Structure 1
Amino acid sequence: MQAALRSVPLVRRGGVLPGYGLALGFTVLYLGLLVLLPLGALVLKASTLSWEGFVAAVTGPRALAAYRLSFGASLVGAVVNAVFGPVVAWVLARYDFPGKAVLDALVDLPFALPTSVAGIALTAVYSQNGWLGQHLTKWGIQVAFAPAGVAMALTFVGLPFVVRSVQPVLEDLDPRLEEAAAVLGAGRLRTVAWVVLPALFPALLTGFALSFARALGEYGSVVFISGNMPLRTEIVPLLIVTRLEQYDYAGATAIGVVMLGASFMLLLAINALQAWALRGRKR
């Protein structure tokens, strides 16, 4: 038997089905045309600036203010979703109740809803004359046309990424593990900390990264609720569009290169952390 197994040729890692080379070539070509070629053109266009011009374009006061708002509000939105998104996913995965299908569909609504519609809706709710904004204004809280409104909009668009990343893991997580922990004397908080959260951490990290990356590139919903005031509520995508409208193509692409590099490094770091977490679970 062992001799027969030794005589069987090894199958390449591509699988037993044919077409490995063709599929790999198509993948490289497809990603190259859709991703690498446009990004390469972006870098080449920015390279037409001198080093002094590039630094001046990406480090001006208006650009720095836009970086702070975009990255800060995106981080706030991703953190809020990372805290409350798993709660929504837990309810959808573990409980049956009337209207569950409607609630489940509402989670995906930011995916399908045009971002401009979301921005108009948020502005109507949180403006000074809005349903909630008029009451918040009495307490000195301004959401619309303020950085808080930007964070609100970015939280809205990022929620589905966290919920849909965590929900399948919760559905596959065996409830008997939690019951076993309770039988062994673990309390609810300890069971969540030592049984549930370690299993959710890689998926939660993925959802956080996707939510953060989505928020960095958001434009439509933010321009309505932010007010687009330079040095205060202007986000980086809007600044890029403004530079393009002023025919400053090199300056716009320079800021785009900065955002591209920062986003890539952040996603690379989060993916490395996720791989480390998965290796820790397998040990």
Structure 2
Amino acid sequence: MSEKSFIVPHDFSEVADCALNHAITTAKVVGAEVFVLHVVAKEKAIKDAEKKLNELIKNKGNTGVQLTAKVRVGNIFDDIGDFAAEHHAELIFMGTHGASGWQHIAGSHALKVVTHSSVPFIIVQQKEVGENGYDDIVVPLDLNKETKQKLAIVASMAKYFKSRVHVITPKESDEFLKHTVQANVKFAKKFFTERDIEMSVTVAPSSGFDKEVVKLAINKDADLIAIMNQNKSNYLGAFGSNYEQYMITNDAQIPTLVVNPIETPYGSSVLFS
């Protein structure tokens, strides 16, 4: 049994299968087991769901990754995060259907699932994972004090996939805000340089910054955008702003890594240790 584990909530849709492909590609690199999870409302639905999951895994053929089917009674908002915690998962790969979808895993509801869990998510639309995994990762660094926490997991992924990291920051006119942004960039440069990771920096207008992030990701043909869930404490509203939702449902369908803030200076990741 693998020491590391990933979770893929699966509803037998194309977008869920796309998320599974992302998980398999990453699991090959790190030697992780992948739990393919389906949540049902009633006990009587378990047997049929297990059969469908096992068929799905069988059809994947020899992936070189251990895929394990799991069916659970409950609801997606509680049970995906709970299952990940119980199995000490390092990462959850979840498909989102944009405006609507299975068991309400639309963009806004996907964010509620993320908020419930302490485990980082990679939210996938229908863009398949590249042959080399994640070659280019875009990392927005804003004024939030937690923004640097995502650097550890990004660095871990970049080391294994030999990724290029593209940091983007807002252009601020206020001297204090400008200093804060510059300090974050300096920290990121030192952090990635120490780990021999190639990094570029782009300064973009602070107005419409979310759109600038996606624009850069398209320009760099990025495979992943890494963001923080800045509304972790706002559970009932899931996310107070539209920033995170805009990112995970971006029109370019670029997968989004969403990291929940934790109480450390810049976060840590044992994902690829």
Q: TM-score normalized by structure 2?
A: 0.21
Q: TM-score, normalised by structure 1?
A: 0.20
Structure number with bigger Rg? 1
Q: Structure 1 or 2: larger helix share?
A: 1
